[in-house]
Structure 1
Amino acid sequence: MTAPMNVDPAELEKFSALAHHWWDPESEFKPLHQMNPLRLGWIDQIAGLKDKKIVDIGCGGGILADAMARSGAAEVLGVDLAKKSLQVAQLHALEAGTPHIAYREISAEALAAEQPAAFDIVTCMEMLEHVPDPASVVHACANLVKPGGWVFFSTLNRNLKSFGLAIVAAEYILKMLPTGTHEYQKFLRPSELTRFCREAGLDVKASSGLQYNPLTGRYWLSQDCSVNYLLAAQRPVV
Structure 2
Amino acid sequence: MNDTVNADPAELAKFSELAHRWWDPESEFRPLHQINPLRLDWINTLVPLQGLRVLDVGCGGGILADSMARKGAQVTGIDLATKALRVAQLHALEAQTPAIEYREISAEALAAQQPGQYDVVTCMEMLEHVPDPSSVVQACAQLVKPGGWVFFSTINRNLKAFTLAIVGAEYVLNMIPRGTHEYAKLIKPSELAASCRAAQLDVTHTRGLEYNPITGRYWLSADTSVNYLFATRRAA
Could you tell me the TM-score, scaled by structure 1's length?
0.98
Q: Which residue of 2 aligns with 1:69?
A: 69
Letter in 1 for 2:148: G
> After superposition, where does 1:158-237 map in structure 2 within 5 Å?
158-237=157-236
Once residues 120 and 22 of structure 1 are traced to their aligned partners in structure 2, the CA distance between those partners, rounded to angstroms, is 27
Q: Which residue of 1 aligns with 2:128?
A: 129
Q: Which runs of 5+ in 1 are unaligned?
A: none
Q: Which residue of 1 aligns with 2:47?
A: 47
Letter in 2 for 1:8: D
Once residues 140 and 12 of structure 1 are traced to their aligned partners in structure 2, the CA distance between those partners, rounded to angstroms, is 19
Q: Which residue of 2 aligns with 1:25?
A: 25
Partner secondary structure for residue 103 of structure 1: strand
Letter in 1 for 2:156: N
Once residues 78 and 131 of structure 2 are traced to their aligned partners in structure 1, the CA distance between those partners, rounded to angstroms, is 17
Cα deviation, 1:12-54, whole Å, max 9, x if unaligned, reads 0000000000000000000000000000000001111111000
**What is the root-mean-square deviation in Å for CA atoms of aligned residues?**
0.8
Letter in 1 for 2:29: F
Q: Which residue of 1 aligns with 2:92?
A: 93
Once residues 12 and 150 of structure 1 are traced to their aligned partners in structure 2, the CA distance between those partners, rounded to angstroms, is 27
Once residues 143 and 230 of structure 2 are traced to their aligned partners in structure 1, the CA distance between those partners, rounded to angstroms, is 17
Q: Which residue of 1 aligns with 2:156?
A: 157
Letter in 1 for 2:187: L
Letter in 2 for 1:137: V
Once residues 169 and 180 of structure 2 are traced to their aligned partners in structure 1, the CA distance between those partners, rounded to angstroms, is 10
Q: Which residue of 2 aligns with 1:147?
A: 146
Partner secondary structure for residue 132 of structure 1: coil
Q: Which 4+ stretches in 1 moved above 3 angstroms? A: none
Once residues 45 and 221 of structure 2 are traced to their aligned partners in structure 1, the CA distance between those partners, rounded to angstroms, is 15
Once residues 37 and 195 of structure 2 are traced to their aligned partners in structure 1, the CA distance between those partners, rounded to angstroms, is 27
Partner secondary structure for residue 205 of structure 1: strand
Partner secondary structure for residue 44 of structure 1: helix
Q: Which runs of 5+ in 2 are unaligned?
A: none
Q: Which residue of 2 aligns with 1:9?
A: 9
Letter in 2 for 1:141: C
Partner secondary structure for residue 138 of structure 1: helix
Letter in 2 for 1:33: H
User: How many residues align structurally?
Assistant: 235
Cα deviation, 1:75-126, whole Å, max 9, x if unaligned, reads 1000000000000000000000000000000000000000000000000000
Letter in 1 for 2:93: L
Percent same amino acid among aligned pairs? Answer: 69
